[in-house]
Chains A and B, each alone.
Chain A
Amino acid sequence: MSLTLLNVIVAVVIAIAFAAANAAYLVWAERRGAARIQRRPGPNINGPFGLLQPPLDGIKLMTKQLMIPGGADKILFMVAPVLAMAPAIMSFVTIPFSKGIAAHNMEIGVLMIFAFASMGAMAILFAGWGSRNKYSVMASVRAVSQNVSYEIPMLITAITVVMVNGSMDLKAISTAQAGGFWHWNIFPSLHSPLMPISFIIFFICSLAETNRAPFDLGEAESELVAGFHTEYGSMGFGLFFMGEYANIVIGASLTTILFLGGWDCPFGMFPGVWWFLLKIYLLIATFIWIRWTFPRTTIYGLLNLSWKILIPISLFNLLLTAGLLKVF
């Protein structure tokens, strides 16, 4: 019993460390990537290639005074950043990086990650409401309606994958796709001919779920100043920022596991954690690339895309897959 407890504690500490390191260095990667796209150097002063920038940024944020605006709801204001970061870390616990590397494997891994992901919307709502700032409230209402409407097609698509693989266990889903790229879920099979479309829907939804451009309506800086974290400074802002990047890693990991075969090698050789990491970082690079190339969508365009296009297609796909599974 105590050994299991120790195991869980060690696993959680490793998950926190992984999430924090990823969040910090993805900020660096994003800034360097953005700079490359915009033909400028980016952070390159501190350390080789500016690699010391993230820890120094962290020190700067931590030494700043934590300000609570007058009239703000103190409890909600303080809880919100923690609530943004904690579910993201918890989601890491169940993600299998390879056959042997997973903090704690669960039979309902998919369900657990989605349950934690929907808590992110609560953090944004608390932050917006607790700040007592008109811009923050508007931004949080936007972000929540966006999260709610994009969770539906994302879940329906995930259910399609779960039905095809017959399990909610992330490890089992990955193992079922082993043996070369033609076994991956992204390729259409007899049971699921529309899988590539599902992949695109899932990718768009994970962009929207993490409030990334072109769906960054919650923090549209040219309209709503800084959106729901306008009033946050110090580590409160830092936690929101890290939570965003941790969520990006979760989104990329989930896409990799559900569609791209997890740790499987595309040619059936040397499967292992390196393939998993390669896949998620390629997906994250795509996230960064998209962010710095596209302008922002409108709120009605965004909701129309979800309710009028993505949900009908994903529902049709679900029904088709269910029918084909029954027939064959």
Chain B
Amino acid sequence: MSTPIQLRPDETFILNVGPQHPATHGVLRVKMEMDGEYIVKSETVLGYIHRMHEKMGENRTYAQYLPNLSRLDYLGALGYTHGHVLAIERAAGIEVPERAEYIRAITVELNRVASHLFWFGAFVMDLGGFSPLMYAIQDREHILDMLEAVTGARLTYCYYRFGGLYNDIDDDFIEAAKRFIPRMRKSLKKYAALVTGNIIFQKRLEGIAPVSAEMCRKYGATGPVARGSGINFDVRKNEPYSVYPEFDFDVPVYHECDSMARYKVRMDEMEQSLRIIEQGLEKLPGGPIMAEKKPKNIKLPVGDFYQAVETARGSFGIRIVSDGDKNAYRLKLRSPTYSNMHLFDEACEGMLIMDALAFMGSLDLVIPEMDR
């Protein structure tokens, strides 16, 4: 039989959002202490999908570890493998041909657009609007088809190699990319008119969930979350790598600190990525795609190496401590959403649960990347 529930008027209750909950888009668990609909305290519990990627990095050779990196973030996988190959190339002193670097930049930016498109759809779905997801997925499909043709995979790419690429892009890819850019620009205009201009959408995001620049620095938030809080930091501009210095692009920064600012940063970033792709296709040099002098078994010199790249979610860093062997002595991944997520506990105190979950959506969480 049921026993009556006795609650004092000032009593709070614990609400477990997750590990299985539609808003967390994965196995994330947030323990919320609730006072009615208001959140008194929240505690993020991670580790439900921990796969020991860092330990695997210590047990495998550098080349064997390459596919692991694309299993971190299944939406923007190329950026992570890019970080790894850049770190190894710099440490081992491998010269990468220019054509390979350009193709890397083009594919990474295409992947960034795909990732942001999926985020856009999922975010509007979190707010209760289901239809934009279908439109975003259709645009993303074009990118996945293009990338599938050159990399052989649709999500978990293993396209980059130490010193170059697995295979060259063909004319079909270039044609498809050139067709895609104006199409995507048209779509972005449509999204701005249909979603960004919607009054309910604006009311739900503007002034909601403020994250100050101090809070971003305190928790080490990067990427669109930090840029939505007025921090002008983008690894591609501030610590340039690959061929990014040769591209002309802007870093969108908004100072409103609310969910709308984070939304706008990502929407503007898609346009900037399209600009990079456009310039990359224009400047694309000929030549080989693989370094000529490359050791068969890569062994890094003794030392401590770090490489940061800007992925779709923020600054991704890989730190390799080598003792001169063919696998790393210690390998540490700094994943952007891990830091971005930890804002949530402090920022959502006193918020309504529906605003808090909209805020969680605006952080663009990918749980496997957070838990690694």
Whole-angstrom distance between the alpha carbons of A225 and B23 in the complex? 8
Q: Count contacts on A: residues with CB < 8 A to the other chain.
A: 32
- B149 adjacent to chain A (CB < 8 Å): no
Chain A residues positioned under 8 Å from B126 (CB to CB): 222
* A216/B128 in contact, CB under 8 A: yes
* B135/A39 in contact, CB under 8 A: yes
* A295/B134 in contact, CB under 8 A: no
- A213 adjacent to chain B (CB < 8 Å): yes
- B166 adjacent to chain A (CB < 8 Å): no
* A221/B22 in contact, CB under 8 A: yes
Distance of B26 from chain A, by nearest CB (Å): 14
Distance of A69 from chain B, by nearest CB (Å): 10
- B353 adjacent to chain A (CB < 8 Å): yes
Q: Which residue of A lies closest to B205 (CB)?
A: A295
- Which residues 85-135 of A have a CB within 8 angstroms of B? 132, 134-135
**A134-B13, A298-B354 given; A292·B131 CB < 8 A:** yes
Q: Which residue of B lies closest to A301 (CB)?
A: B203
* A298/B22 in contact, CB under 8 A: no
- B129 adjacent to chain A (CB < 8 Å): yes
Distance of A140 from chain B, by nearest CB (Å): 13
Q: Provide the A134-156 mask, 1 if CB < 8 A to any CB of B, else 0.
A: 11001000100000000000000
**A39-B135, A134-B13, A223-B357 given; A213·B203 CB < 8 A:** no
Distance of B137 from chain A, by nearest CB (Å): 10
Q: Count contacts on B: residues with CB < 8 A to the other chain.
A: 31
Whole-angstrom distance between the alpha carbons of A296 and B134 in the complex? 17
- B198 adjacent to chain A (CB < 8 Å): yes
* A295/B2 in contact, CB under 8 A: no
- A20 adjacent to chain B (CB < 8 Å): no
Chain A residues positioned under 8 Å from B125 (CB to CB): 222
Chain A residues positioned under 8 Å from B353 (CB to CB): 138, 223
* A300/B352 in contact, CB under 8 A: yes
Q: Which residue of B lies closest to A293 (CB)?
A: B131
- Which residues 187-226 of B have a CB within 8 angstroms of A? 198, 200-201, 203-204
Residue from the list B128, B354, B361 in contact with A299, Cβ < 8 A: B354
Whole-angstrom distance between the alpha carbons of A301 and B22 in the complex? 23
Q: Provide the A219-250 mask, 1 if CB < 8 A to any CB of B, else 0.
A: 01111010000000000000000000000000
- A294 adjacent to chain B (CB < 8 Å): yes
Chain A residues positioned under 8 Å from B131 (CB to CB): 34, 37-38, 292-293
Whole-angstrom distance between the alpha carbons of A134 and B17 in the complex? 11
Distance of A245 from chain B, by nearest CB (Å): 18
Chain A residues positioned under 8 Å from B355 (CB to CB): 298
- Which residues 135-177 of B have a CB within 8 angstroms of A? 135, 138
Distance of B141 from chain A, by nearest CB (Å): 12
Whole-angstrom distance between the alpha carbons of A142 and B361 in the complex? 22
Chain A residues positioned under 8 Å from B135 (CB to CB): 38-39
Whole-angstrom distance between the alpha carbons of A159 and B124 in the complex? 38
Residue from the list B22, B127, B130, B361 in contact with A292, Cβ < 8 A: B130
- A47 adjacent to chain B (CB < 8 Å): no
**A295-B124, A298-B204, A298-B352 given; A134·B15 CB < 8 A:** yes
Whole-angstrom distance between the alpha carbons of A3 and B127 in the complex? 54
Chain A residues positioned under 8 Å from B129 (CB to CB): 293-296
Residue from the list A72, A73, A223, A295 in contact with B201, Cβ < 8 A: A295
- Which residues 295-309 of A have a CB within 8 angstroms of B? 295-301
- Which residues 195-237 of A have a CB within 8 angstroms of B? 213-214, 216, 220-223, 225
**A38-B131, A298-B355 given; A73·B15 CB < 8 A:** no
Q: Which residue of A lies closest to B17 (CB)?
A: A223
Whole-angstrom distance between the alpha carbons of A296 and B204 in the complex? 9
Chain B residues positioned under 8 Å from A300 (CB to CB): 352
* B134/A222 in contact, CB under 8 A: no
* A132/B130 in contact, CB under 8 A: no
- A64 adjacent to chain B (CB < 8 Å): no
15 A-B pairs with CB atoms under 8 Å apart are: A38-B130, A38-B134, A38-B135, A39-B138, A73-B2, A134-B13, A220-B128, A222-B361, A223-B23, A223-B353, A225-B21, A292-B130, A294-B198, A296-B128, A298-B204
**9 additional contacts (CB under 8 A) given A295-B127, A295-B128:** A34-B131, A38-B130, A39-B138, A40-B134, A294-B129, A294-B198, A296-B127, A296-B128, A297-B203
